[in-house]
Structure 1
């Protein structure tokens, strides 16, 4: 007999929405006919992430709920409005269902793995937690998959920047630390240093090393802006990349343990203006 899940028995709503994110989600730059699919994807990702981050749920319960999401997304079970809507959107657009279920692999990993031994492990986590988002957008716009590496670079950069912003809260609230443990040892830093009022010298060095990684990733992502066919998606990508660069520089100058490091309205406006200009370049781009 086919299993049917109810939203009320699976979801763990944090109350967060697109307005709480650091970077644009489904903005006006996305063509109107594509926005419902983007919203379905965001709603699915937000809800699944909420399950993975819920401090009241055991690891086993998180895994059970995330598996229910996967089963509905892949048509193995019924119910659950968010994975059902994403399934419909992906099938309609001819996009692999794995663009959604790969995210679930990362959220399942969050339930069981609170520490990352090295940069390779962290990048492996980002391959599932962040990169499918960009791949979904490229597929939705019919872009060349040869641009996946550039998209992956931008998505991974955004994920690491988010980890750096939230590293104190992640440890304090859900006992999770994404900083490479071998780099921490190299710099004489300890995980508990994340709970201090300001970063130690060693922890600052780890942050700077990760920001260097982000700068390299941002540079790789420049190809995405140059080579996308869609003017709208190029603009969206350019805005996001400019914001990533601005946040990288803010995290270089500001200590995320001592203060909340976030993008300002001026950052958003400047990045928006630059992104629109860059997206408009190239007369051969489609709308």
Structure 2
């Protein structure tokens, strides 16, 4: 049904291309198992909203929604990536809401393909990114309203950074995640988003978004400090990956069209202990 129905090995391979360590080998196997199940679901739902003919995407998302109904009704889901969540949902007491929000993000992508303001983009992140942080906190039995609020800042930042890295790919799919008012402010037009090297006006827009993402990331750093043990280790890795990705964008001069701009492993490894100890970004 979905080409995104991947084996566990496929999921692990995809996770290595993220800006942050999805399920670090430093974590015990039980946490890695649950984190990869959640990642597999999130990636599969995202792919369901991107793959195939436009008219066939909503039925795919309907199928995911139906399977979530089965899961929470105590029945066996049909889709492998939803079925794999069964044990994780039960063991970690995961509510349905964050999973359904990810599906809602996929639905929104079918009808909303431009965002007028940064505030509107953050509204999209509330569906597409922030629920993942809530799921992670449930996995580590660390879910509280205060931590959710901090996690939302981190996850929104990570989503914005990814949008900066993928502007050309997104435009090919008919979507622009850079706010329209910022594009106008810098004199950028949509055709500039696929030109290589990246046009100066677009670089200005990207620098603005990256700066906003960094501010969100840093405001979310106290999340790691509020946690202990492996939960703190995992969350510190996510923030460190975001910091390293912003640094990569800066060092590339925000030239993101035609080649991948990804965080250097050594930079991530330098940031990780800094976040874990609540320190400022590494120099």
Residues 153, 217 of structure 2: 8 Å contact kept:
yes
Q: What residue is the counterpart of 2:27 in the other structure?
A: 30
Cα distance change of structure 1 residues 268 and 212 upon mapping to structure 2, 3 Å threshold: closer
Q: List alignment gaps of at least 5 residues for structure 1.
A: 1-8, 280-287
Once residues 226 and 12 of structure 1 are traced to their aligned partners in structure 2, the CA distance between those partners, rounded to angstroms, is: 35
- TM-score, normalised via structure 1 length: 0.85
2:180 paired with 1:181 = yes
More divergent stretch after superposition (244-253 vs 69-78): 69-78
Q: List alignment gaps of at least 5 residues for structure 2.
A: 279-283
Cα distance change of structure 1 residues 273 and 220 upon mapping to structure 2, 3 Å threshold: closer
Residues 134, 155 of structure 1: 8 Å contact kept:
yes
Residues 91, 97 of structure 1: 8 Å contact kept:
no
Q: State the Cα distance separating 1:245 from its structure 2 match.
A: 1.3
Q: State the Cα distance separating 1:64 from its structure 2 match.
A: 0.8
Q: State the Cα distance separating 1:249 from its structure 2 match.
A: 2.2
Q: What residue is the counterpart of 1:158 in the other structure?
A: 158
Corresponding residue pairs, total: 266
User: What aligned pairs does 1:113-128 form with structure 2 within 5 A after superposition?
Assistant: 113-128=112-127
- TM-score, normalised via structure 2 length: 0.86
Residues 126, 159 of structure 1: 8 Å contact kept:
yes
2:53 paired with 1:57 = yes
The DSSP-based 3-state class of the residue aligned with 2:157 is: helix
User: What aligned pairs does 1:116-265 form with structure 2 within 5 A after superposition?
Assistant: 116-143=115-142, 144-172=144-172, 174-228=173-227, 230-254=228-252, 255-257=255-257, 259-265=259-265
The DSSP-based 3-state class of the residue aligned with 2:84 is: helix
Q: What residue is the counterpart of 1:18 in the other structure?
A: 15
Q: What residue is the counterpart of 2:269 in the other structure?
A: 269
Once residues 140 and 106 of structure 2 are traced to their aligned partners in structure 1, the CA distance between those partners, rounded to angstroms, is: 26
Q: What residue is the counterpart of 1:3 in the other structure?
A: none
The DSSP-based 3-state class of the residue aligned with 2:141 is: coil
Once residues 83 and 113 of structure 1 are traced to their aligned partners in structure 2, the CA distance between those partners, rounded to angstroms, is: 26
Residues 12, 50 of structure 1: 8 Å contact kept:
yes
Residues 34, 88 of structure 2: 8 Å contact kept:
yes
Q: State the Cα distance separating 1:10 from its structure 2 match.
A: 4.3
Once residues 12 and 238 of structure 1 are traced to their aligned partners in structure 2, the CA distance between those partners, rounded to angstroms, is: 29
Cα distance change of structure 1 residues 223 and 97 upon mapping to structure 2, 3 Å threshold: same
Residues 244, 264 of structure 2: 8 Å contact kept:
no
